[in-house]
Amino acid sequence: MQDKLLALKDEALAQIGAAQEVRQLQEVKVKYLGKKGPITEVLRGMGALPAEERPKVGQLANEIRRQIEEELEARIRELEQKQLEEKLQQEKVDVTLPGRPVREGTTHPLNGVIEQIEDIFLGMGFKIAEGPEVESDYYNFEALNLPKNHPARDMQDSFYITEEILLRTHTSPVQVRTMEAMKGQVPVKIICPGKVFRRDTDDATHSHQFMQIEGLYVDEGVSMSDLKGILLQFAREMFGQNQQIRLRPSFFPFTEPSAEVDISCILCGGTGCRVCKHSGWIEILGSGMVHPWVLERAGYDPNKYTGFAFGMGVERIAMLKYGIDDIRHFYTNDGRFLSQFGRI
Ligand code: 2NL
């Protein structure tokens, strides 16, 4: 019986030594050490042995079990180590290889120009305010002295969602909301950049969706000369230090008096050319003193406070600054156009 056990041990160890995969070793384990394996069988047959021999055979059987288990463990570790090394070898990465270049994006020219304009006004003490693109009739029109039946409120000119709700046609509602939220405190000194929507047919100079920046300054004693000083400073920082501006009388329902603002032609400097249609001037924005009725509706006593406001189309400013001839370039996402602006 002892010989049989020793033979089994040699057999098992030989198979362990020959195994090339962990799976094979698991088979060896089941085969020799399992409940139905030959060693268990030998132990079961011990009843037939003389009593004095049983401990010896039992001891030997246990010793062999232990030895087989140890060898199995050792071989499993060895194979796992080998597998790991092979895997590391196969998956080796050459970290010194040059990487694939990543195509970096550029700032969209409209965002770049908005940031420039924001920086200029932040430098003059303005804060930035934003608000919803979907507006109520009240904030978009009524509060701005554009009563029902005013031609600017024609259903044909705005994107209405319901009779009372529409896509804002300017960022003025943000200024009204800001004044309301400030509950009569001064100064209100804000610029409001954002998307606006008008039911226009798109062409080289019109887009049904565009960017606007409006400004508002309300305090005691704010005058038309403050408006002119602030806008002259803006024109010079945006288009060059030798810029001149010119105010022409105009009309908006929400300002009185109102003025259109021109800058001296950025191409010819005022001598007259194709860009300025030989006038020497280019219109860049609309402005005026906030209508007393608008101030009052927003919670400011028009006998105590005055304010100026202005509004400009960002696309127009960007087109002038960069010599862009078609507003649609801003929205058609042609990389050849967009990549020219880098990180403005
Ligand atoms: C233009 C003209 C303008 C305003 C916008 C404004 C806002 C409030 C009160 C009074 Cl809350 N006025 N905004 C004033 C004058 C002109 O925009 O041509 N924009 C493209």
Q: 77 with 143, same domain?
A: no
Task: Report the predicted TM-score, pTM, of the whole model to 2 decimal places.
Answer: 0.74
Within this chain, do residues 159 and 79 fall inside the same structural domain, yes or no?
A: no
Residues 251 and 281 in one domain: yes
Which domain covers residue 27, as residue numbers? 2-91
Give the C-alpha separation, 330 to 113, whole Å.
12
Is residue 42 over pLDDT 80?
no
Question: How far is the centre of ligand 1, averaged over its atoms, from the C-alpha of 150 (Å)?
Answer: 16
**Distance (Å, whole) CA 163 – CA 132:** 17
CATH number of 301's domain? 3.30.930.10
**8-state DSSP, 160:** B
User: What pLDDT is stored for residue 24 in this prediction?
Assistant: 82
Residue among 197, 255, 294, 320 whose CB has most ligand 1 atoms within 8 A, to mutate:
255
217 lines ligand 1 (CB under 6 A): no
| Statement to judge: residues 157 and 203 lie in one domain | yes
pLDDT (0 to 100) of residue 243: 92
Does residue 204 sit within a domain? yes
Q: Is residue 232 part of a domain?
A: yes
290 lines ligand 1 (CB under 6 A): yes
Same domain, 289 and 207: yes
- 252 C-alpha to ligand 1 centroid (Å): 7
Nearest CA to ligand 1 atom 7: 172
Residues 151 and 72 in one domain: no
Structure tokens at 299: 């919670």
The annotation status of 256 as a binding-site residue, yes or no, is yes
Domain annotation covers residue 71: yes
For 106-161, the pLDDT digits (tens) are 999 999 999 999 999 999 999 999 999 999 999 999 999 998 888 878 767 899 99
- Strand segments, DSSP code E, in the chain are 127-128, 134-136, 165-167, 188-197, 209-219, 245-252, 255-264, 281-290, 306-313
Look over the chain and give the mean of its residue pLDDT values, rounded to a whole number.
Answer: 91
Sign of torsion over alpha carbons 218, 219, 224, 227: negative
